[in-house]
Amino acid sequence: MSSPGRSSVGRYELRERLGVGGMGTVWRAWDPSLQRDVAVKEVLLPQGMSPEEHAEARERTLREARATARITNTAVVTVHDVLEHDGNPWIVMELLSGASLQHHLDHRGPLPVERVEEAARALLEGLRAAHAAGVTHRDVKPANIMLTDDDRTVLTDFGIANVDGSTALTQTGVYIGSPEYMAPERFEGERALPASDLWSLGVTLYALLEGRSPFKRDSITGIISAVLTAPVPPRLTLDEGPRGPESAPLRALIGALLSRDASTRPSPDEALALLARERRARDRGEPSGGGAHTPWSGTPSGPHGNSAPHGYGGPHRPSGPHQAPGLRPAAHGPGAAGPYAAPPGSSTAPGAGTGRYAAPSGHPTGRAPLPGRPGASGPQAGFAPAGHGGPVPVVIAAVMLGLNALYLLVLTAAYAGAALGDPGGQGWGPVFPLGLWGVFSAFAAAGVMTRSRLVYGAVILVQLLVSVMVLFSMFTVFIYTPEQLPVYVLMLAYNLVIVGLVLIPPKVRAFFGFGANFG
């Protein structure tokens, strides 16, 4: 274990201890080679291991930390370096500025529904990237999720629970992970799978909405009993209030994730599709099916009738009363769709299934493209379809552009009328630039709501160009017609406000596909 007097590990100079937990110590450190602050975590392996077990756990942790370093996703903490010192693994990561979601729950209570939806999408994206790299987190919970100062939702502590290669319980009787967030199969002696992370995410999302885990009890025995036997999905108190319809997409997602049968839990892709579909249903005012809208069906493959990629699913276990909501047992025989088939009223093309689930009805590719990926429809990906509004600053900017277009076109008509009334004058000079600017503003007012990056860039470029032109014109106005100066100042401020609205807020940049996830 690190001594308080330790000054460096490898090339990293330890500056300040940031936190101590059961599985490690985190330090603020300085990287003199790259001249930057980093977070350095010493991973403490459980006591009581034999030398062979200790070496195996150390190597596994180092190996999976290196795999984590290959993950490139804004929702996963960036690993800069991995090293070994004094027999323990050390992981060098980006230094995040912010607080954990557990800290938020402890000091400010549950999060708003909109923020939990943002976190759900970000974490699903992060888990998809991690699982694709062959990394299972094994300890997804609010304490291991950072809400950064720049509004990122970041999953941290990869490599901490990774010493667990088999079950949740070590030979010394110590649980690796947090029991109230652990999947039931881990208490039944099975190794952690990617699907286990999805259960933990479902518990985490519930905790973010309610302020606590649904399986929190006064004793470890009570927690395990609740995880294995308590009714799932748990009831959300939000459902009983006026915001019940607003939380419907999250309710459906949590219900799908908290299936005790690991083979029926959705993968991150499928969970994102479920969340997007339920959001569309909510926005259209349709009642949520709590997961019943899921138009997926599994495809039999192998002796257990499922073929989940990257460790999703596994040997099918009858789920009994705890099957995933909205899924019904499928008929066996030719055309059977695996453990669960789509609800009545939905259809899937023969052979459309991939993995455990098939594409939504009518989609020709066999799997609906996830927004934000190649093949997704709409101008920008990773977000809800255009037509369902956007961040408030985008709406305000669109309104301001529309008002600007109206003013400019009226002004253009006035100048054109004056020019027609005085053919010998010079009245046509401002008509064409004002008219062109007005037409562009009208086009941009509608275009920004489509999330087009082309329109986004054009708006910023044109508004900045116009602002520069107005600024230079103000020098002439100040000398010859100072009484008009307030009008030019107002015009300059108006255009700069539009630029600020579409350029500064992180959510707006994310709306057009630049930066973190848009809510």
Indicate which residues carry an active-site annotation: 139
Cα separation, 85 vs 2, in Å, equals 10
Phi, psi (degrees; rounded to nearest 5) at 395: -65, -45
> In the numeric block, which tokens belong to residue 84?
């070994």
Contact assessment for residue 21 and residue 37, using Cβ atoms and an 8 Å cutoff: no
Q: How many residues make up the chain in this entry?
A: 519
Phi, psi (degrees; rounded to nearest 5) at 226: -65, -45
Cα separation, 390 vs 405, in Å, equals 21
179: left (phi over 0), alpha (psi -120 to 50) or beta: alpha
Cα separation, 141 vs 70, in Å, equals 22
> In the numeric block, which tokens belong to residue 188?
């039944």
> What is Dmax (Cα atoms) for the chain?
100
Identify the CA nearest to 308 among candidates 262, 277, 367: 262
Cα separation, 440 vs 459, in Å, equals 9
Q: How far is CA 372 from the centre of its chain?
A: 12
313: left (phi over 0), alpha (psi -120 to 50) or beta: left
CA distances from 39 to 28, 325, 392 (A): 5, 41, 35
Coil vs helix vs strand at 264: helix
Identify the CA nearest to 46 among candidates 141, 162, 138, 214: 162
